[in-house]
Structure 1
Amino acid sequence: MTPGELPAVPGILTSADIRRTGESIAAAQEPDGALPWFTGGHTDPWDHIESAMGLTVAGLWDEARDAYLWSAKTQRPDGSWPAQVRRGLIENADSDTNFCAYLATGILHFATVTGDLGFAASLWPAVRSGIDFVLGQQGPHGEIYWSTGSPGEALLTGCSSIHHSLGCAVGLAEQLGDPRPEWAAARRLLGDALRHRPELFLDKSRYSMDWYYPILGGALRGPEATARIERHRDEFMVPGLGIRCVSDAPWVTGAETCELVLALEANGDHDTATRLFGEIQHLRESDGSYWTGMVFTDGKRWPEERTTWTAAAVILAADALSRTTAGNGIFRDSPED
């Protein structure tokens, strides 16, 4: 197969715009396949996968394959990855469970968009090993501890993302003829913790991700999700500009806004999602790249960097809104526990 139609959101971005944004991600890719935050920056395993997903939607399949092969090559024997590397050198050797789970989402997404189940099969050992590592960090009530460097601590955002990745891993396992019912059981336990046991997670409620990630990760949908959005809407939404990264700082960010777009779209609020997607385009540059954020009290870009994962979040949001590629529902279609 070859790449087909690229997403477009009428009145906001054309398919040519999406291609340019994909090319801005590819321009930062290193020879070994790594996708750092920006040229010369560090690479972490989660944002690397997010950027690979953006490349896939943008039709840059060879570059996406190289990125996934980098993940397989750099995985450690226990199934984990170091939290941060720069040009092949480890800067943070701790293992973040959310980071280690996300390969399952990326590989299912790639297989769904491209139809290349053979490539997915070749990466299956890495996915399987990563998920087994993650579930080795699961607590007695379903929570999953976030880092080998912080035993016993669980994060709501990270666990919500793991919940989604586990759903992808279970689906991929079934497609590849290697069903993993124990993963599905672990996901059910985690989903119950996310919905009913807030005391299990560190309080990070000032961060917008803790607001919408239970919806993005599929643990909450329907009236409960809508109520959660409404309860904190005024804390995070900045009319005309997107959403804050943290509730107590005058800083809107592109990736968080586009993730909220994905969460709202998954919960059926297409109109609000589309409006927010249009609002965040003030971060776009002419080459298709995106600034990470803006301090809206003085209109300055901050930090002064254009990040690959912000560009990828824009591409994934455009695909979800336009329902263009076969993988456009990777977040919307998260299975029930």
Structure 2
Amino acid sequence: MSMAGVSNSQMSLSATLKRAGLAPIGKGIYLSNRTREASGSSSAASNPSKTPNIILVFGWMGANLPHIFKYTKVYQEMYPDATQIIVQSRPQFFWSSNRTRMNNLVPVAEVLEAHGCSGTKLEVAPASESDPPRILVHSFSNGGGIQMYTLGKLLRARSKSSSDFCGHKPRMSAMIIDSCPANATLRGALRAFTASLPKNSPLRIPLIIFIILIYSFNSFKHRIFGVQPIFERLKRGLLRQGPEGGILPWMTEKTPRMYVCSKQDELVPFEEIEEHVKEAKARGLNASIEIYDDTPHVAHARRYPERYWGAVKDLWAAAVQS
């Protein structure tokens, strides 16, 4: 791409971010801090102490900002007083080192800490005593799920204390896991990484070879050194329980979570998500599942917006009551 092309692309991105009220705070990480412009703009905003004031959105692998904006725009209408943190997921994230993954998410951790989320306890910082953290997390596909899992590891690593958060009154929190998790299979990896490429793309064959090499290397590490594939670590993280919280440190067994999947998803078989949800419930986690009959991967809200966003509102209502 020429210098002029790069400049035009950057200008276009800047204009897009400005229209969306977003500021870049890291590589593929954006912060929105919009406030309600008119009273009554959202029925949910009539009682702001019962609505989320932080919304974490983890996009699916390769999702461009305009795709993610279709979700964040709805959140701006539903919860106009909430700060939104948007995290993109790029393919190279999957074969980066754990340290690189965690370093990339430091800006997210810093924003959360500034809002009162500190270490393994969801503490109330002096500046946020009147507005304690109420966090809604929305993760898409394995790409978003792995970003979420990595953020949990980062927050624990930055913790100054390993004290038991469950001994304190939990803040409101809920989690949506859309089109995730999937089993760690070569076939699934190939589908995920090549889904956005045309079948006649010259990049398709080199990418397939590269994915096979990476998958083989990870399988070797698992057999020889016991290192679990990242997708398996994500599944284990989603089932995490104990004194240091769930996949994110402030989450407990009572935190409402909703899995969303489809019988027509060609990337993540809904049976794998169903099986995971059964295990989550068996472990005592507050899990529910929404199964669609005919929607493609991460496209449930686009085809059935009323059902999808109605379920999100119901999930948050459960968080308020829990």
TM over 0.5: no
Larger of the two Rg values belongs to structure:
2
Q: TM-score, normalised by structure 1?
A: 0.30
Give the helix-richer structure, 1 or 2.
1
Q: TM-score, normalised by structure 2?
A: 0.31
Give the strand-richer structure, 1 or 2.
2
